[in-house]
Amino acid sequence: MNNTPPIIALDFPSAQETFAFLKQFDGENLFVKVGMELFYQEGPYILEQLKKQNCRIFLDLKCHDIPTTVYKAMKRLAGFGVSLVNVHAAGGSRMMEAALEGLEAGTAAGQKRPSLIAVTQLTSTSPEMLQHELLIKTPLEETVLRYSKLAEESGLDGVVCSVHEAERICRETSPSFLTVTPGIRLADDKKNDQVRVATPAMAREKGVSAIVVGRSITQAEEPVSAYRNIVREWEGIKA
Ligand code: C5P
């Protein structure tokens, strides 16, 4: 995941809208994220089409179920030729280990297994929600750190977290442990439903491995120029 470009969240309802959007990038090799909306609509077909356009893919289905079910799901996903997949750390260590075992079992000999990361807390989760709705009294940052260590102990390659927690996770896990961070906005963008947002420059400063950007690019008036601005900030190129 070194030198990973910003991962564009393709949160579109159909393949048609996805490819209309991607057409603007004129065949550039992109790293994209396919989430539930698009995958549930189009299925593996969308992944095949994106691979034909030389996209690297983060398949963001956030699996969370009993270990056996997650094992079987990951065994299937391993055959899709994507770079990155994820589960919820809240499923516990046995579920995360099963996910990894499933990916290994489903990866063909000689092929690279997709990296596996765990969602710690969604970036839309606020401390109030954690305490009053989920009844978790531990401070949000502590839960994120604990879930990250649990993911590392379970053999996972990294976590999804907000930029605000990434610095501490990087400090307290091994150097190769990935931190993939959504909730990215340029300074004058709208936050939408994200609570713990940060700019690409902040993400870079905190040493995160990769940033995921959706609406700041997909809903921008000029998506390609929004993408370029984000790349410049992420790469630390001064305007
Ligand atoms: O549009 P925006 O940049 O907020 O999109 C962020 C993307 O990252 C969405 O596809 C969302 O599902 C995903 N995501 C997130 N928080 C997480 C994990 C994934 O926002 N913890």
The domain that contains 153 carries what CATH number? Answer: 3.20.20.70
pLDDT of residue 226: 96
DSSP helix/strand/coil, 191: coil
> 182 in a domain, yes or no?
yes
pLDDT in tens, 5-20: 999 999 999 999 999 9
Q: Could you tell me the pTM of the whole model?
A: 0.94
pLDDT of residue 238: 67
Picking from 76, 101, 165, 53, the residue whose alpha carbon sits closest to that of residue 61 is 76
> 161 in a domain, yes or no?
yes
Average pLDDT over residues 157-166: 94
Q: Which range has the worst mean pLDDT, 145-149, 172-176, 192-196, 215-219? A: 192-196
Asked whether 182 lines ligand 1 (CB < 6 A), one says: yes
pLDDT of residue 239: 60
pLDDT band at 188; cut points 50, 70, 90? confident
> 24 in a domain, yes or no?
yes
> 89 in a domain, yes or no?
yes
Report residue 19 as tokens.
């490819």
State the distance from the centre of ligand 1 to the C-alpha of 182, rounded, in angstroms.
Answer: 5
pLDDT band at 64; cut points 50, 70, 90? very high
- Please report which helix (H) or strand (E) contains residue 46, including its range: helix 44-52
Average pLDDT over residues 22-50: 96
CA atoms within 13 A on the CB side of 39: 18
Which positions ≥6 away from 92 have C-beta within 8 Å? 150
The number of the ligand 1 atom at minimal distance from the alpha carbon of 192 is 4
Contact indicator for 89, 159 with CB cutoff of 8 Å: yes
Report the C-alpha gap between 213 and 223 in whole angstroms: 11
> 2 in a domain, yes or no?
no
Asked whether 200 lines ligand 1 (CB < 6 A), one says: no
pLDDT in tens, 75-129: 999 999 999 999 999 999 999 999 999 999 999 999 999 999 999 998 778 899 9
One of 62, 72, 75, 149 is an active-site residue; which one? Answer: 62
| Residue linked to tokens 């420059």 | 201
C-alpha 14: how far from chain center: 20
Picking from 82, 65, 74, 66, the residue whose alpha carbon sits closest to that of residue 104 is 74
Average pLDDT over residues 64-72: 98
For residue 78, the 8-state DSSP code is G
Average pLDDT over residues 26-54: 96
Which positions ≥6 away from 218 have C-beta within 8 Å? 8, 9, 10, 11, 12, 21
**157 in catalytic set:** no
pLDDT in tens, 195-228: 778 999 999 999 999 999 999 999 999 999 999 9
Asked whether 119 lines ligand 1 (CB < 6 A), one says: yes
Structural domain of 182: 7-235
Q: What is the mean pLDDT of the chain?
A: 94
pLDDT of residue 146: 97
- Please report which helix (H) or strand (E) contains residue 34, including its range: strand 31-34
> 1 in a domain, yes or no?
no
Sign of the torsion formed by the C-alpha atoms of 104, 56, 124 and 175: positive
Q: Report the number of distinct structural domains present in the chain.
A: 1
Asked whether 212 lines ligand 1 (CB < 6 A), one says: yes
**193 in catalytic set:** no
pLDDT of residue 192: 76
- Please report which helix (H) or strand (E) contains residue 42, including its range: helix 36-42
The number of the ligand 1 atom at minimal distance from the alpha carbon of 36 is 12
Residue whose CA is at the smallest distance from ligand 1 atom 21: 122
Contact indicator for 141, 114 with CB cutoff of 8 Å: no
pLDDT band at 2; cut points 50, 70, 90? low
Asked whether 104 lines ligand 1 (CB < 6 A), one says: no
Residue whose CA is at the smallest distance from ligand 1 atom 3: 214
Q: Binding site for substrate: residue ranges?
A: 11, 33, 60-69, 123, 185, 194, 214-215
